Amino acid sequence: MIEKLVAQILKELGQDVQREGLERTPERVAQALRFLTSGYAKDVKDVLNDALFVEDYDEMVLVKDIDVFSLCEHHLIPFFGKAHVAYLPGKKILGLSKIPRLVEMFSRRLQVQERLTTQIAQTLQEVLQPRGVAVVMEAIHLCMVMRGVEKQNSRAVTSAMLGAFRDRPATRAEFMELIKPRGNVI
C-alpha cells in the first residue's frame, strides 16, 4: 500500500514513475520508512532483555556519543546527532549495550527531539529506579537545514534531568563535564 501512495506522490510532483531512475523508488521508499519506524514494533522489555543486574556500584554510569537517527514527525525529514545517557544506580545496573538499544528503539519512530529525550530518561527511571537519570541530545534537523530557516550550522540541544541530576548541581555539573567533546581518547 505504501508503494502505491509513494507512486501517487511522485505523480503529483509531476514525475514519471516509469522512468528508469524512479521505477523502483516507491518500493525503496516503503522499505526505508518501515525500517525508520521499526521502533514501534519493539517493546522496552524485549530491548532490555532482562539485562538488569544487582551490583554494589554507586557512581555514575555514562554512555556518551550514541549515534541517533530519527524522522521529524512534522516533516518526515531526518534529524541526527548524538545522545549522552547517564544514571546513578540505586541497587541495579543495566547491561551497557542496552542503553544504545533503548535510544535506537525510541529514535526509530516518528519523533520530536524533546519527546525522544524524555522517553529515554523516563524509561530508565522506571526500569532501574536509580538515584538519578540524565539525557542530553544534540541533533541537526534537516527540516531546519534544507528548508524553512535554512540555517546549516544550527543544532538543537535537549536535556532531561531526573533525581540527583536535577536536584544536585554538582552531579549535573559532573555529567556536563564528562560529555564535553574531547579528542579521541580511545
Catalytic residues: 72-75, 113, 141, 143
Q: What are phi and psi of 96, to 5 degrees?
A: -55, -35
How far is 175 from 68, CA to CA, in rounded Å?
19
Give the dihedral of Cα atoms 10, 28, 109, 15; nearest 10 deg: -10
Contact 83, 160 (CB under 8 A): no
Block residue for cell numbers 538499544:
101
CA distances from 88 to 21, 27, 111, 124, 125 (A): 52, 45, 27, 11, 10
CA distances from 89 to 62, 120, 129, 182 (A): 11, 16, 8, 26
The answer for residues whose C-beta is within 8 angstroms of residue 118's C-beta and 6 or more apart is: 135, 160
